Structure 1
Amino acid sequence: MKSLPYELFVGWRYTRAKRKNHFISFISLTSMIGIALGVAALIVVLSVMNGFQKELRTRILGVASHLEVTGGGNQLSDWQSVAAFAARQPNVQASAPYISAQAMLSYDQGVQGAIVRGVIPNAEDQVADLGKHMKVGRLEDLRAGEFGIVLGVDLAQALGAQIGDKVVLMAPQGQFTPTGVVPRLKQFTLVGLFQIGMYEYDAGLALIHMDDAAKLYRMGDKVSGVRLKLADLFDAPAVAANISDQLNAQANRTGDYYVSDWTRQHANFFRAVQMEKRVMFIILTLIVAVAAFNIVSTLVMAVTDKRADIAIMRTFGASPGSIMKIFIVQGALIGVIGTALGALFGILIALNIDTIIPFIENLFNVQFLAKDVYYISDLPSDLIWSDVFTIVTVSFFLSLLATLYPSFKASRINPAEALRYE
């Protein structure tokens, strides 16, 4: 069996602590630790950013749909034909009509503004995940003509209302009387509570049956739009464009249609997360770069310290290329060990962050993400192995790059000059 190159053994020997100069080994150790911390920080931060993106998408789609088809003036008169057309599309799994309007809710001394959505419970449950987020009651408790209402938990808490209480809903569209315009009022019975986990919805959304909403807002047979669920949510932009083209081809007969998908409705959220992820990657890569380029100073001092050794190896026939390989191995070992340790700790933290963060919050009695300030009040993590591979590759490349100059200088040492004063 062919033996391993001697450059590998000499490079490993130079990496370890020596009797003569512990300072160089200390610098090597600090470089390893710096690389490890940078790699671990990169993995954890990118995993958290991925977790935010995934959690944001999940919670938004728990209330919103993949696609929405609306008409001019926020009214759709032929929604049955639109729903039937959508059902024939290969990517569409379900459809549900809805009525959306603003209202003021009042109970006792509490008054809160909210978005009111009129839904058909069975159909709504097929295009969104609201049924899975019900804390009290069921979505099916909304029945036509009974004027029941389902509120987000934070909205109900702000009103001070509990299950069975009568909540007054005031529609801004008023009715004319001899004394002036009077807003339309209707009492609704609180029959359920939901909790999405996003303060925007939990504190500002109310659900009623679509028939009750049609009567209250005088919509007749019209609706605000039709919500669609797709087999693959990431196909939403392409499917939206296709449906819009086909529907608007009939515009001369049925009027204009507007088709929007979830990526456009909440584009700012996802763009912000994606931009923050890129910026954090660049910033934290600089930490790895600083630690990696500490290898330069380590190897420069090692070359100065090992001048006599280099001269002796050259005298025994070692080529300049072999001397260069020795110090490349030494620097690469620092980078590999630091990267491996950082990747190990980063992966462990990223996979267990849902346990680590609550422990720290309980230990110091703090809350990092208040739910009335942030859309997501916990710290999610989604470890993507392609990100780990990219981080490890970049770290190793920077470490290897840092070894080139000192290694080249070592290979240029003149044996006679180095041994003159020995």
Structure 2
Amino acid sequence: MYKPIAFYIGLRYTRARRSNRFISFHALSSMIGMMLGVAVLIIVLSVMNGFQNEIKNRVLGMVPQATVSSNHIITDWQNILPVVENIEHVQGAAPFTQLQGMITSQGQVTGLVVNGIDPKYEPRVSIIQDNMVQGSLDNLQQGEYGIILGKSLTDALGLRVNDKITLILPEATPSPAGVVPRFKRFTLVGIFSVGADVDGLVGYIALNDAATLLRLPQGAQSVRMKLDDVFAAPDVVDQALSQLPPHFYGSDWSYTHGSLFSAIQMEKFMIGLLLFLIVLVAAFNIVSSLVLIVADKQADIAILRTLGATPSTITKIFIVHGTVIGVIGTFFGTILGVTVALSISSVFSWVTNALGLNPLAAYVINYLPSELLWRDVTVIVVLSLLLSFLATIYPALRAAKTQPAEALRYE
């Protein structure tokens, strides 16, 4: 059976038992270095993807992803919903009114963004209903002045369901005693927890109660939308405004939370770049390993040259040998990286539960998420193989320049 001589000898050098154990160890360390570099790169990028996805789902699941608002109260918001829901990427729409104020309870005061919502439509655009730990959105009834707060805020204020709190609005009301802020008594009817900063910053009341507090006609200030692709938000807003009267204006999450995701993207890029240097170092180890092998195989190269092997054949032999090292390291590194990336979340949870210690407990996301993207794996594998190939070129060309007479002089 015919075998290309360069491929056959290159493979034979890879699996042959060398008399020089240092060279053999150096080749093995290059292979292990490539394997670990690829595995670590896959694992870390998967964890970064997991954190990015969790933050996107938690934060953007609560804040408006895209909104259309009017200079005056929207009394016919029921007619606006079908218009925006027919736009591509829009999964749902709901009315809301937003106001800012302070709440006070048991002598403690804190600032709060209050959203007036319709319990019937809010689940279309928000994850709050799925994250209620006590009570329900249906408890927000017009005229009853109930309020739903985040768990971190209620814990800080020592509140429980059915407790009374006072909402203080910044708008001033003239009175015989002077200018005083407006106060309204609310009952805590529900508590939610999404594990993000909104737990301590946002509260929910009935849509009509919000209009009453602002002394506006019954209606909504804005209509918010939930999207299947959050990065399409600017285009969705433009399409919505083109179908609505001129007095409408729009906004999207990139104005309010865009810096957060830009920071995550930059962090992911920088960490990926730094970890890629590990793979690059492993590739340079292949260079040094092949240089040592070329020096060790001077006599073999000279004999091959005297038997008629061309410099091109010698070059191909060592390119094959070095590439095989890179291929094996990349292959096992990919298997190791993918295996760990798919199981690291459950393993981390098991370890933290067994030890009773969670180093992420104080953070927004208190577990270790991981999302393996095959696109990232493909890019890592291709770049690793390319670096492995490029690392073989210099030692292989150096081997091809070996002069048989000089190499065999002292043999």
TM-score by length of 1: 0.90
Name the residue aligned to 1:204: 201
User: Match of 1:37?
Assistant: 36
In structure 2, distance between residues paired with 1:123 and 1:19:
73
Q: Kindly tell me the number of residue pairs found equivalent between the two proteins.
A: 411
Report the 3-state secondary structure (helix = DSSP H, G, I; strand = E; otherwise coil) of the residue aligned with 1:29.
Answer: helix
Q: Distance in 2 between matches of 1:104 and 1:236?
A: 31
* 409-418 or 361-370: bigger deviation: 361-370
Deviation at 1:78, TM superposition (A): 5.7
Who is 1:306 aligned against?
297
Equivalent residue, structure 1, for 2:19: 20
Q: Is the 8 A contact 1:61 1:129 kept in 2?
A: no
Map 1:346-361 → 2, pairs under 5 A = 346-361=337-352
**SS, match of residue 121 in structure 2:** helix
* 1:393 equivalent in structure 2: 382
Specify the code of the residue in structure 1 equivalent to 2:55. L
The answer to whether structure 1 residue 383 and structure 2 residue 372 are counterparts is yes
Aligned-partner SS, 1:63:
coil
Alignment of 1:286 onto 2:272: no
Does the C-alpha gap of structure 1 residues 338 and 3 become closer, same or farther in structure 2, counting only changes over 3 Å? same
Hey, what does 1:166 align to over in structure 2? 164
Conserved? CA contact 2:83–2:243, under 8 Å: no
Please state if 1:244 is matched with 2:235.
no
Which runs of no fewer than 5 residues in structure 2 stay unpaired?
none
Which residues of 2 match residues 96-245 of structure 1 at below 5 A?
Answer: 96-198=94-196, 200-230=197-227, 233-245=230-242
- Per-residue deviation, 1:284: 1.3
Residue range with higher mean Cα deviation, 155-164 or 314-323 = 314-323
Pick one of 326, 336, 355 that aligns with 1:335.
326
Contact 1:110–1:158, Cα closer than 8 Å, also in 2: no
Deviation at 1:182, TM superposition (A): 2.3
Check the 8 A contact 1:16/1:25 in 2, yes or no: no
- Equivalent residues in 2 for 1:46-85, closer than 5 Å: 46-72=45-71, 76=74, 79-83=77-81, 85=83
Distance change in 2, residues 1:397/1:173 (3 Å): same
* CA drift at 1:392: 0.6
Determine the C-alpha separation between the residues in 2 that align with 1:14 and 1:213: 78
Q: Secondary structure at the match of 1:308?
A: helix
Identity %: 46
- Equivalent-residue separation in structure 2 for 1:268 and 1:313 (angstroms): 62
Compute the displacement of 1:378 (Å).
2.7
**1:272 equivalent in alignment to 2:263:** yes
| 8 Å contact from structure 1 (residues 110, 160) kept in 2 | no
Which residue of 317, 324, 328 corresponds with 2:315?
A: 324
Q: Give the C-alpha shift of residue 170 in structure 1.
A: 1.7
Tell me how far 1:196 sits from its aligned partner: 1.3
Matched residues in 1 for 2:146 and 2:359: separation?
Answer: 37
2:391 matches 1:418: no
Return the letter of the residue paired with 1:119: I
Offset of residue 12 of structure 1: 2.6
Return 5+ residue gaps in structure 1 as ranges.
none
Cα displacement (A) at 1:232: 5.1
Deviation readout 1:148-173 (Å, 9 max, x if unpaired) = 11111111111101112112222222
Give CA deviations for 1:35-76 in whole Å, capped at 9, x if unaligned. Answer: 111111111121122212221221123212332112348x55
State the AA in 2 paired with 1:347.
V
Q: CA deviation at 1:315?
A: 1.7
Q: Is the 8 A contact 1:328 1:400 kept in 2?
A: yes
Q: Secondary structure at the match of 1:357?
A: helix
Q: Displacement, 1:31?
A: 0.9
Q: Residues of 1 paired with 2:92 and 2:173: CA distance?
A: 36
Amino acid at match of 1:204: L
Aligned residues: CA RMSD: 2.2
CA contact (8 A) 1:112 1:159 kept: no
Q: Deviations over 1:3-29 (max 9, x none)?
A: 332333322332246352000111111
Structure 1 pair 17/231, CA: closer, same or farther in 2 (3 Å)?
closer
